[in-house]
Structure formats: C-alpha cells, structure tokens
C-alpha cells in the first residue's frame, strides 16, 4: 500500500471492494472523506474496535474474578484439609493416651492420662470445627464429655463439652443434637446449673419445632417440642427467670392451639389465662395482660364454647378493670356476641376494624378462621369442611 495520505486509511487492512473506487490519490481529499460509504466503513471499524476492546476487557475481568474465586476455594480447601489432618492427629493422640491409662498401675497417673486424653479430644474438636467438619467436631466433643463424666467425674467440664457437641450437631445432624442437648441438660441439672439446662431445653424444643427430627419415641415432633418448652419453663421458673419462663409457656400454648393435631384449645386457653394473671402481678408487664386474655377468649370460641368465653370475659373484667374498655376487651366482646348470634357479617366487620388499628398476627388469623368455622357450622353453612385458606375473615 502506498504511503500517501490515502494509504494511511488502510492501516487496519485493505478497503472492501465497494470502496476501492474511492481509494485513489487522483481524487480530491474532500470527496474521499465526504463519501458516505467511506464514512460508514471508518465508523464501523471504530465501533468494532471499541466492541472488541470492551469484550476483551470484560473477559480479562471475568478471568481475574474466576481465578480469584478458584484461589480462595483452593485456600479454603487447603485450610480445611489441614484442620482435618490436625483433628485426626489429636484423635490418634487421645486414643494413645487412653490406651496407656488402662495399663497404668497408679491412679494419679491414670487420672493424668485421662485429663490429657480429654484435652486432646477438645483440641481435635476445635480443629474439626475450624475446618467445617461439624459432625466430627461434635463426636470429638462428645467423647471428651464422656471422659470427663465417666473417668474423671468432672460434671462441669462434661456438661460444657456435651453442650458444645450439641451445638456442632445442630449444623449437621439434628437427631444427634437433640441427644447431646438432652444429656447436657441432665449433667447441668445434676451440677446445679439450672439456667444453662433451661436454655438447652429451649434449644431442644426449637429443634423439634423447626427441624424434622426422627426419634425412637412414638410421640410426634410437636408433642416433644411442647414437652421441652414446658421443661424449659419450669427450669427458668426455678431460677426466678419469669420473663423467659413465660415465653416458653406462650410457645406451649401456641403449639397446642395451632401446630398440634388435633389442637388442644382448652389447654391453650388455660395457659393464656395464667400468663395474663402473671402479668398483672408486675407493674412492668401488667399492660400485656389484655393480649393474653384476648388469646384465651379466642381459644374458648375456637373450641366451640361461647359460654366458656363469656365466663372468661367476666373474670378478666373483674381482675383487670382496664380490660373491658380496652381495644382487646371490646373486640373479644364483639366476637362473643357474633358467635352467639351466628352473625358472620358482624364477625367480619369486627375483624376488619380491629385489623385496621392492631394488625392481626398469623396466630390470631388462624384462630379467628377456626372461630368462623364454628359459626358456619352452627348456622348450617357447611363451612367446616373446607380448608383454612378458603376462608376470608371479612
């Protein structure tokens, strides 16, 4: 290509055939550069250059990101592998010390070997936990707890390690977590650490409630959750932790009235009644009593017992002079009257008006659906055969 002012246009390659006639040194420069084909061609080359450059930059950025991610994964894998090897080494060390303790003639030497073995198990558990091997970490903590309990009679360390085992198992195996927590509860109670035992009972209850925990018991997970919440409430009560005790009891009532099949609404009503009366004994909590009294009334109505609901309202107005004029008290009274008169329209209006000011939570909504079913059943509407989702409270 000629090195003239026209030839420089062809730096990126030869002109395409349609433009060859414009590539001539004998033509005026203004004609050459003013030609639409040439301008389009130059523009297309410029655009292609930008696109290719952007694409290349994008690929480079993506490649760097992928390389960084791969390096991070490799680092994490290497760290996990290293922690696994450390954990295995500590386990082997613990096994060796346990073996030596059996052949030792002196009790002091035996005790020292057991202490060292338990310590090695704890070190193994920590290494496994750092590496993300939660099942192995739980097993190591459990073995350390068993050494402290059975060989060293150290209930304090045994309960601590057994609780740590349960924490690890929650991330890998809920069944093992429940077993470990249950053993830790027994160890804590034997050692007089009631609050710690109560907290673990609550964790057991949450596992039964939220996870599919298979057990050897014929009882359902919900029944086991209720029992665990009850036990936690009793233990918290022993330590005068009234707020935590009431929270666990409220969970019992919630599960009895909702998740339990069939629901035990009578028991739930009694629990809410007790919780409301507890609140009246405290100046800080007395304003919460109205909510519990409303829940108790709703349980009576949902069980098809408007007479029991009316009697409950009378009791609540007697023990709490503010209840009758409160939003909760007025709402409860309206619902009782609607049930007694089979007034579905009034029932819907009452729910709508209450919801406008105090949003109905899922529990109240579910219970109110049950109440509406009782009205429909008594009125001969046949609503009791449908599912809860088919009902509109309003």
Round to whole Å and give the CA distance between 249 and 255: 10
pLDDT level of residue 106 (50, 70, 90 thresholds): low
Round to whole Å and give the CA distance between 72 and 84: 18
Round to whole Å and give the CA distance between 90 and 140: 10
pLDDT level of residue 157 (50, 70, 90 thresholds): very high
Residue whose C-alpha is closest to residue 332's, from 376, 364, 375, 288: 364
137's CB contacts (< 8 A; 6+ apart) are 87, 125, 126, 128, 129, 165, 168
Percent of the chain with pLDDT over 70: 75
Is the alpha carbon torsion for 197, 199, 202, 207 positive or negative?
negative
pLDDT level of residue 65 (50, 70, 90 thresholds): low
pLDDT level of residue 78 (50, 70, 90 thresholds): confident
Round to whole Å and give the CA distance between 377 and 380: 5
Residue 244 near residue 198, CB atoms below 8 Å: yes
Residue 229 near residue 196, CB atoms below 8 Å: no
Chain center to CA of 325: 38
Residue whose C-alpha is closest to residue 371's, from 304, 279, 289: 304
Residue 16 has pLDDT above 70, yes or no: no
| pLDDT tens track for 84-95 | 999 999 999 999
Residue 166 near residue 185, CB atoms below 8 Å: no
Round to whole Å and give the CA distance between 290 and 200: 31
Round to whole Å and give the CA distance between 182 and 224: 12
Residue 52 has pLDDT above 90, yes or no: no
Residue 138 near residue 176, CB atoms below 8 Å: yes
pLDDT level of residue 379 (50, 70, 90 thresholds): confident
Higher pLDDT, 236 or 33: 236
148's CB contacts (< 8 A; 6+ apart) are 118, 154, 155, 157, 158, 161
Distance separating the N- and C-terminal Cα atoms of the chain: 86
pLDDT value at residue 364? 96
pLDDT level of residue 287 (50, 70, 90 thresholds): very high
Residue 85 near residue 126, CB atoms below 8 Å: no
Burial degree of 68 (CB within 10 A; 0-12, 13-18, 19+)? exposed
């Amino acid at each position: 290509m000629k090195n003239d002012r026209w030839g420089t246009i062809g730096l990126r390659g030869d002109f395409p055939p349609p433009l060859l006639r414009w590539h001539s040194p004998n033509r005026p420069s203004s004609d050459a550069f003013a030609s639409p084909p040439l301008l389009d061609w130059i523009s297309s080359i410029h655009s292609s250059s930008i696109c290719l450059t952007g694409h290349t930059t994008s690929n480079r950025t993506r490649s760097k990101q992928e390389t960084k991610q791969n390096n991070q994964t490799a680092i994490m894998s290497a760290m996990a592998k290293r922690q696994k090897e450390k954990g295995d080494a500590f386990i082997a060390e613990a096994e060796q010390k346990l073996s030596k303790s059996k052949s030792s003639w002196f009790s002091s030497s035996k005790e020292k070997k057991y202490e060292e073995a338990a310590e090695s198990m704890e070190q193994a558990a920590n290494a496994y936990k750092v590496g993300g091997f939660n099942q192995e970490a739980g097993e190591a903590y459990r073995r350390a707890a068993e050494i402290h309990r059975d060989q060293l009679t150290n209930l304090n360390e045994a309960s601590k390690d057994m609780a740590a085992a349960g924490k690890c198992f929650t991330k890998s195996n809920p069944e093992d977590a429940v077993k470990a927590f249950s053993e830790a509860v027994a160890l804590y109670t034997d050692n007089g650490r009631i609050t710690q035992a109560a907290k673990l009972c609550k964790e057991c209850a949450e596992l039964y409630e939220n996870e599919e925990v298979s057990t050897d018991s014929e009882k359902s997970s919900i029944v086991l959750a209720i029992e665990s919440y009850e036990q936690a409430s009793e233990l918290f009560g022993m330590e005068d932790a009234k707020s935590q005790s009431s929270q666990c009891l409220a969970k019992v009532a919630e599960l009895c009235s909702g998740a339990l099949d069939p629901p035990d609404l009578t028991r739930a009503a009694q629990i809410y009644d007790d919780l409301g009366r507890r609140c009246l004994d405290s100046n800080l909590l007395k304003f919460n009593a109205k909510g519990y009294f409303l829940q108790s009334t709703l349980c009576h109505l949902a069980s098809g017992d408007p007479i029991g609901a009316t009697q409950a309202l009378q009791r609540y107005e007697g023990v709490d002079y503010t209840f009758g004029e409160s939003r909760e008290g007025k709402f409860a009274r309206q619902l009782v009257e609607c049930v007694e008169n089979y007034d579905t329209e009034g029932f819907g209006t009452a729910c709508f008006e209450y919801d406008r000011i105090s949003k109905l939570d899922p529990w109240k909504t579910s219970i109110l659906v049950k109440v509406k079913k009782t009205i429909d059943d008594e009125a001969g509407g046949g609503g009791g055969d449908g599912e809860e989702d088919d009902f509109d409270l309003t």
